[in-house]
Amino acid sequence: MNGYEPSTWRLLRSNPADGPTNMAVDEAILRAVAAGAAQPTLRFYAWEPPALSLGRAQRASDADGQALHAAGYGLVRRPTGGKAILHIDELTYSVVAPRSDPRVTGPVAESYRRLSAGLVRGLELLGLANAEADQRAKDHGSVGPVCFEVPSDYEITASGRKLVGSAQMRSDGTVLQHGAVPLYGDITRICAVLSARPDLARVRARATTVQDALGRPVSWDEAVDAMITGFSQMLNLRLELGELTGSELGEAEKLRSQKYGSDDWTFRV
């Protein structure tokens, strides 16, 4: 089914956390893996309260601060690229591994392709037969501030509508890829908290949720279980349930305070 030698990775099922904490934990894991202090890690998490995340180079003015406050949503800037995502009613995953690992080695698009196999298989196990990750090299035309409007290369669609949005960064010989899998709810809710007020019909036509694509509700735990099996099968992984180390927790706390919870970072662009 795959050409990988078996490998053991750490599996984390994190408690829901706010946006700065979630981004700080992902970067803390990256630093630990880069230092050889932690195994490659597959992590699943959720957001409480919900939050709008901006891509690393995205303008902060794309977000409507008053609308976010009124809705009770947070705002955070990711360390990875891409456009805005409203993290609500979703499963979020992150993968951290050395660039030497064959599952993530090579160009960004190629590592997307390899990792997407685990995501697609997880969706298949949930019953979604039409999920696919195709290379999309053609011009997509104008791109707005919403991540889920247009799939990038090897991002996952269902019946032509974007279902999984992912982004990646590379640092110190290590890859961090994280992404959002909307499970249910109105995919257009993001439009009300963006300054440009993107067209609801356009976003609805181009993006979907697992529930809409599958025709039934899927809980966070059910989705996680399917993704664990999908990654295990397609990437030949033995996933061992673990926890963050004390060092990672300390690093995450520092990153949350000094970086992801700071206006200097959030409003840097």
Q: Are 112 and 153 in contact (CB under 8 A)?
A: yes
Domains defined for the chain, CATH in brackets = 7-266 (3.30.930.10)
Q: Are 159 and 79 in contact (CB under 8 A)?
A: no
Three-state DSSP state, 213:
helix
Non-local (6+) Cβ contacts of 81 within 8 A are 55, 56, 57, 167, 168, 169
Q: For residue 158, give both structure tokens.
A: 């269902």
* pLDDT value, residue 147: 53
Non-local (6+) Cβ contacts of 19 within 8 A are 47, 51, 53, 74, 75, 76, 87, 260
Give the dihedral sign, CA 215/82/28/235: positive
Calculate the dihedral angle through the C-alpha atoms of 49, 85, 59, 31, rounding to the nearest 10 degrees: 80
pLDDT of 207 above 50: yes
Strand order in the sheet with 90-98: 131-133, 156-158, 161-171, 174-182, 90-98, 41-45, 7-13, 237-241
pLDDT of 146 above 70: no
CA dist., res. 247 & res. 236, Å (int): 28
147 is catalytic: yes
Catalytic pick among 147, 150, 156, 176: 147
Q: What predicted TM-score, i.e. pTM, was given to this entire model?
A: 0.93
* pLDDT value, residue 198: 92
Calculate the dihedral angle through the C-alpha atoms of 84, 90, 91, 96, rounding to the nearest 10 degrees: 10
Mean pLDDT of the chain: 93
Q: Are strands 90-98 and 41-45 parallel, antiparallel or unpaired?
A: antiparallel
pLDDT of 238 above 80: yes
Q: Are 103 and 47 in contact (CB under 8 A)?
A: no
pLDDT of 150 above 60: no
CA dist., res. 63 & res. 192, Å (int): 10
CA dist., res. 227 & res. 150, Å (int): 23
pLDDT of 37 above 80: yes
Closest by CA position to 184, among listed 159, 218, 157, 155: 218
201: exposed, middle or buried (C-beta count within 10 Å: 0-12, 13-18, 19+)?
exposed
**Exposure b/e, 9-44, CB count within 10 A at least 16 = b:** bbbbbbeebbbbbbbbbbbbbbbbbbeeebbbbbbb
Which single residue is written with the structure tokens 């349930």? Answer: 241
* pLDDT value, residue 154: 73
Q: Are 52 and 193 in contact (CB under 8 A)?
A: yes
pLDDT band at 139 (very low <50, low <70, confident <90, very high): very low
